[in-house]
């Protein structure tokens, strides 16, 4: 079994980005600038945003963190987005999800200028992805594609089963796995899928993103399968300093015995997501000249 190490791979990608940024600066250019908007004080969201800011420092980007209280109105948030859309010193920005219930997530997503939407959630960018055009790919699926590439996983003609159909992971993942050049035969499964174990047992590659800890068990996969675990669930653990541990959507102990390649949690898809956000920001900086 080969462990697909997202920590090492994302470190390599960040090193590559840092070299490009250093070159840009040497030539008298401006460093890429990424901003993040955080609304409220959700613990997991704060951790993710802090990790993104830290990654910016590591690759030599400028970063800005804008914090709003959980009571901030939708109008206030939209006004900030408009300001960022028009800020020429900013190459990209993200609004950390989830948002408080009184704010319409879709309205926020579509208000972001697609040219600065480095999360790749805007319908324009998702449409371009569907057409196979160059765009900002959603960071998590982009990170998974990069891991498959760097670990030289054979995809052509393989059966890929994606579990979960969210707009940010499962659905784009199913599109990318079926694209020309990747050439998987894709089955997209979800909460209404019948006989899921029968389907996963025929999979050469399984991408699990349904947010149910240790959902994929050993008896659901065949020998030699490639398993990508997207899930991150915080589960109380009093033995940890933080008071919780992170669980993936895969029963690692069971599935790793049968898999040819598998991602761990933590240290798999998570760090890749951040590295690809950096890559999208660098792409935006280059596009803007
Ligand atoms: P979500 O939570 O929005 O939706 C879950 C999906 O799973 C739905 O499409 C649903 O149909 C499907 N589902 C639910 N029960 C199912 C079942 N029994 N069988 C099959 N499918 C079922 O999805 P999400 O936002 O993509 O998040 C999924 C997981 O991935 C969560 O744990 C989340 O924290 C994690 N995540 C990780 C990263 C990362 O960077 N590693 C990024 C995004 C999400």
Ligand 1 centroid distance, CA of 166 (Å): 6
**What pLDDT, on a 0 to 100 scale, did the predictor assign at position 4?**
98
Q: Which residue's CA is the nearest one to ligand 1's atom 13?
A: 191
Q: Which residue's CA is the nearest one to ligand 1's atom 12?
A: 164
43-47, 143-147, 178-182: least confident range: 43-47
Checking if the pLDDT of 2 tops 90, the result is yes
- Catalytic residues, which ones? 52, 96, 119
pLDDT-above-70 percentage for the chain: 100
Cβ atoms of 273 and 7 within 8 Å: the answer is no
What is the number of other CB atoms lying within 10 angstroms of the CB of residue 223? 8
What is the rounded average pLDDT for all residues in the chain?
Answer: 97
Phi then psi dihedrals of residue 73, to 5 deg: -80, 160
**What pLDDT, on a 0 to 100 scale, did the predictor assign at position 282?**
98
* pTM to 2 decimal places: 0.97
Checking if the pLDDT of 289 tops 90, the result is no
Average pLDDT rounded to a whole number, residues 199-204? 98
Contacts of residue 175, Cβ cutoff 8 Å, sequence gap at least 6: 129, 130
Contacts of residue 286, Cβ cutoff 8 Å, sequence gap at least 6: none
The CATH number, out of the four listed (2.40.110.20, 3.10.580.10, 3.40.50.720, 3.40.50.2300), of the domain defined by the range 139-269: 3.40.50.720
Q: Which atom of ligand 1 is nearest to the CA of 249?
A: 32
Question: How far is Cα 94 from Cα 120, in angstroms, rounded to an integer?
Answer: 9
Burial classification of residue 161, based on how many CB atoms lie within 10 Å of its CB (0-12 exposed, 13-18 middle, 19 or more buried): buried
Tokens 């995809």, residue? 155
- Report the CATH fold assignment for 28-113: Rossmann fold (3.40.50)
**What pLDDT, on a 0 to 100 scale, did the predictor assign at position 14?**
98
Contacts of residue 192, Cβ cutoff 8 Å, sequence gap at least 6: none
Average pLDDT rounded to a whole number, residues 221-226? 98
> What are the E-state strand segments in 80-220?
92-95, 159-163, 185-189, 205-208
Token pair for 252? 């690692």
Q: Which atom of ligand 1 is nearest to the CA of 248?
A: 32
Residue 34, SS3? Answer: strand
Tens-place pLDDT, residues 136-169? 999 999 999 999 999 999 999 999 999 999 999 9
Q: Domain map of the chain by residue range?
A: 28-113, 139-269
Question: How far is Cα 189 from Cα 161, in angstroms, rounded to an integer?
Answer: 7
Q: Which helix (H) or strand (E) holds 58?
A: helix 43-59
Checking if the pLDDT of 101 tops 90, the result is yes
Average pLDDT rounded to a whole number, residues 254-276? 98
Checking if the pLDDT of 39 tops 90, the result is yes
> Is it true that 28-113 and 139-269 share their CATH fold?
yes
Q: Could you tell me the pLDDT band of residue 208, with boundaries at 50, 70 and 90?
A: very high
């Amino acid at each position: 079994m080969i462990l697909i190490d997202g920590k090492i791979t994302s470190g390599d990608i960040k090193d590559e980005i840092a070299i490009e940024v250093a070159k840009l600066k040497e030539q008298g250019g401006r460093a890429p600038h990424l901003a993040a908007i955080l609304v409220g004080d959700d613990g997991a969201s704060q951790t993710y945003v802090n990790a993104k800011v830290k990654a910016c420092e590591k690759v030599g980007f400028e970063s800005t963190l804008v914090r709003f209280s959980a009571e901030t109105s939708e109008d206030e948030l939209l006004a900030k987005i408009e300001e960022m859309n028009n800020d020429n010193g900013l190459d990209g920005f993200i609004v950390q999800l989830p948002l408080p219930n009184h704010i319409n997530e879709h309205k926020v997503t579509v208000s972001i200028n697609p040219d600065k939407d480095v999360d790749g959630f805007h319908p324009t960018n998702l449409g371009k992805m569907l057409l196979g055009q160059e765009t900002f790919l959603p960071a998590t699926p982009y990170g998974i594609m990069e891991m498959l590439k760097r670990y030289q996983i054979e995809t052509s003609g393989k059966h890929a089963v994606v579990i979960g159909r969210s707009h940010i992971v499962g659905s784009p993942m199913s599109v990318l796995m079926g694209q020309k050049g990747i050439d998987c035969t894709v089955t997209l499964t979800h909460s209404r899928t019948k006989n899921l174990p029968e389907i996963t047992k025929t999979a050469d590659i399984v991408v699990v993103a349904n947010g149910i800890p240790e959902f994929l068990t050993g008896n659901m996969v065949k020998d030699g399968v490639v398993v990508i675990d997207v899930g991150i669930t915080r589960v109380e653990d009093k033995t940890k300093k933080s008071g919780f541990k992170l669980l993936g959507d895969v029963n690692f102990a069971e599935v790793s015995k049968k898999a040819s390649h598998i991602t761990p949690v933590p240290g798999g898809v998570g760090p890749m997501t951040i590295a690809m956000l950096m890559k999208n920001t660098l792409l935006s900086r280059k596009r803007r000249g």
